[in-house]
Amino acid sequence: MSNFTKPSPNVTIHRIIPSNHKESSNPSEEDCVSDTSSATSYNLLVERCLEILVDTFNKTIGLDDLELSSDEDSSNLRKKIIPDINLTYERLISINMRELNILLKDLSKKRRMEIKNIRRTLKNRGYVADSRTRRLIENDEIEKEIQLMNKKKEQVSEEINANKFRLNVIIESCEKILHSIDKYDKAEELKAEVKATVMKECPFTDKEMEKTFLNLAT
């Protein structure tokens, strides 16, 4: 917020004569008319600029005049009342513009602008707060999803390790069974027949696994 002091409403804006305006000791009537006209135009321009400046300044600091601090507790802020229209800040941001204009119709233009600026600021502040809340909720939901995915990842990893262990046990068992055929005549033919039967009844979808099985007990 600006640091300069708000001008008093009772301050009189004096007319200003340009610094480059020189008064002649014996001015002619034409010179006087010309100089007076220039000074008047210049003063009118300055006055208009000052009016715009003061109006802009009032709009800017209007919220400070009503002690609308960004650090103020939101619950206390909602309970604040605008005496001109006997309306709380909470109600101010909830009513529509048509209702507000009806309430403001008997107030001065300046005061109407101030109250509308308060409403706009409160709405913007509420939007920022809502956005912050939404971000926190979204971040919390994302964090929960990440935790859930990590948990599922751990479960899948545990299942894979358990399946690998069971697979190794099965492979060892198959190899022992195939080696037990070695004591018979034509053992290699019998092994090939057993492997072919297994492949027919339970074909492998994994080529590496199929290769490992076919190489058992060879």
* pLDDT tens-digit readout, 50-82: 666 655 545 544 444 444 444 455 556 667 788
**Domain residue limits, the chain:** 72-183, 184-217
Q: Tell me what percent of the residues of the chain surpass a pLDDT of 90.
A: 9
Cβ distance 42 to 16 under 8 Å?
yes
Burial of 114 per CB tally in 10 Å (0-12, 13-18, 19+): buried
Q: Would you say residue 207 has pLDDT above 70?
A: yes
> pTM of the predicted model, to two decimals?
0.37
Most confident of the following: 58-62, 130-134, 167-171: 167-171
Residue 132 is predicted with a pLDDT of 76
First and final C-alpha spacing in the chain: 88
Which H helix or E strand runs over 88? strand 87-88
Q: Would you say residue 47 has pLDDT above 70?
A: no
Least confident of 23-27, 48-52, 147-151: 23-27
- What is the CA 197 to chain-centroid distance, rounded? 64
Q: Would you say residue 201 has pLDDT above 60?
A: yes
Residue 152 is predicted with a pLDDT of 92
Give the residue, 1 or 96, on which the prediction is more confident: 96
Give the residue, 46 or 97, on which the prediction is more confident: 97
Residue 215 is predicted with a pLDDT of 83
* Residue range 156-173: mean pLDDT, rounded: 88
d(CA 55, CA 48): 11
Residue 158 is predicted with a pLDDT of 92
Residue 9 is predicted with a pLDDT of 44
Nearest to 176 by CA among 200, 199, 194, 196: 194
In this structure, what DSSP letter does residue 17 have? -
Identify the band that residue 185 occupies on the pLDDT scale cut at 50, 70 and 90: confident
In 3-state terms, what secondary structure has residue 213?
Answer: helix
Residue 184 is predicted with a pLDDT of 85
Residue 198 is predicted with a pLDDT of 82
Q: Is the backbone of residue 87 left (phi > 0), alpha (psi -120 to 50) or beta?
A: beta
d(CA 15, CA 48): 11
- The mean pLDDT value of the chain amounts to 73
Identify the band that residue 5 occupies on the pLDDT scale cut at 50, 70 and 90: very low
For 72-183, CATH number? Answer: 1.20.5.170
Which tokens sit at 24? 């002649």
Q: Would you say residue 6 has pLDDT above 70?
A: no
